[in-house]
Amino acid sequence: MIRIEVQIGCSSGNINYNFAMSLLIAGTVAFDSIETPFGKTERIIGGAATYCSLAASYFTDSSRVISAVGDDFPREYIRLLNDHGIDTTGLITIPGKKSFYWSGKYSEDMNFRETLVTELNVIEDFTPQIPQEYQDTEYLMLGNLAPDIQISVIEQLQIRPRLIVLDTMNFWIENTPASLKKVISMVDVLAVNDAEARQLSGEYSLPKAAKKIHALGPEYLIIKKGENGALLFSGKKMFFAPALPLEDVFDPTGAGDSFAGGFMGYLVKTGELNFESMKNAIITGAAMASFCVEKFGTDNLINLDKSAIYSRVREFSELVRFQDMEI
C-alpha cells in the first residue's frame, strides 16, 4: 500500500496525518425491492454506498462508508460489507427509524426503469458526523444521497481530499436543484447518466451539455449511457468507454454505483489523477458494472476475485483495440 505522510499546522499544534490512500464513500445503504423480466426480489440489501463500496473493495482495503440505516436493518447486511474489508464506523443506526427504501421495475428494455417507491426515511433528516479517523480521507466518493448531506460531508473534512467525485440522479435534480448546484460547484468529477446530463444542462447534445456542466465547476464529467457505454469529458478532451455486450443482463440496479466503485478503486490504487488515468478508471468502472448486472442485486459483486476482474478488463481492451490506419 502506498503511504504519504504530510504535516499540517493547526491551532492545536502539528497533526501528523498518515494518508493510506483512503477512500470515503457517502451514499445510501438501503432496502431495495426489484422487479425485472427475470424475477423479483423483496427488501434485499441495496443503496448507492453499498454497491460502490463493494465494487471498490477489490482495489483498496481502506474504504469507509458514511450513511445511516434504521434499526430495521439486519446486522448480517452490515457484516457483508465488513467481510469485504469495508469500515462501517461511519454507518450509523438510528433507533426508531426505518431504513431508506427504494423499489424499481424494469421492462424488456432494461435501459429504462420505473421507480415505484422512494422512501427517504432515516435519510430525510440525517446529519452525517464524520468520525475523527476519517479525517485522513484522500478520495471522496459522494454517491447518491441528498445534496445537503453531500455538502455537509465535504465541509466536515478539515483537509480537502485530492479528489471529490459526485454522483446524483433525477430525484435530486428535480427535488433539490439549488443544493445540487452548490455541491456540483465543489467537486472535481461529476458522474451522471445521459438523461440527467440533459436535464441538468438543458442541452440535448452531450458535448454541449458537458460544456455547460464544466462551467458549473467540475473539471471532469462522466456521462453514463447504460448498455451504450460511458463518455469522459474534460475541457476539449473526450474519451469513450464501451459497455461489454453481455448475453444475459438480469438486473441493472446498482450498475452506476458499481461503475463509480470501480472508477474510484482504480484511481485510489494507482494514485494518479489525470485524463489518462481517468480513461483506465472508467474502463475499470465499466467492468465492475458489467459484473453487477449479471445477477440480482449484489449477488455477483460479492463473489468476485481479482483474476475475474483482470480477464474482464482484457475483454474490454480486445473489444476496442484496432491498428492505426491510413485512409
Nearer to ligand AMP by Cβ, of 161 and 297: the residue is 297
**In 10 A of CB 94, how many CB atoms?**
17
**For residues 103 and 116, what is the distance between their CA atoms, to the nearest angstrom?**
5
Nearer to ligand AMP by Cβ, of 90 and 254: the residue is 254
Cell numbers placing 260: 463509480
> Minimum Å distance from CB 118 to ligand AMP?
5
Among 254, 225, 247, 227, smallest CA distance to 110 is for 227
User: What string of DSSP letters covers 268-299?
Assistant: HHH---SHHHHHHHHHHHHHHHHHHTTSSTTT
Nearer to ligand AMP by Cβ, of 47 and 161: the residue is 47
> Minimum Å distance from CB 30 to ligand AMP?
4
Among 143, 132, 137, smallest CA distance to 162 is for 137
- Dihedral-angle region of residue 221 (phi above 0 means left; psi in -120 to 50 means alpha; beta otherwise): beta
CB 253 within 8 A of CB 236: no
> Minimum Å distance from CB 46 to ligand AMP?
3
Nearer to ligand AMP by Cβ, of 220 and 259: the residue is 259
> Minimum Å distance from CB 21 to ligand AMP?
24
Residues in the chain: 327
> Minimum Å distance from CB 73 to ligand AMP?
12
Nearer to ligand AMP by Cβ, of 28 and 201: the residue is 28
Report how far apart, in Å, the C-alpha atoms of 71 and of each of 95, 99, 188 are.
Answer: 5, 7, 35
> Minimum Å distance from CB 57 to ligand AMP?
16
User: What string of DSSP letters covers 137-159?
Assistant: --EEEE-SS-HHHHHHHHHH-SS
**For residues 10 and 13, what is the distance between their CA atoms, to the nearest angstrom?**
5
Residues in touch with ligand AMP (CB under 6 A) = 28, 30, 32, 46-48, 102, 118, 144-145, 169, 171, 253-257
> Minimum Å distance from CB 194 to ligand AMP?
13
Nearer to ligand AMP by Cβ, of 19 and 73: the residue is 73
Nearer to ligand AMP by Cβ, of 17 and 128: the residue is 128
DSSP summary character for residue 310: H
Nearer to ligand AMP by Cβ, of 93 and 135: the residue is 93
Q: What are phi and psi of 225, to 5 degrees?
A: -125, 40
> Minimum Å distance from CB 105 to ligand AMP?
13
Cα 265–Cα 306–Cα 55 angle in degrees, nearest 5: 35
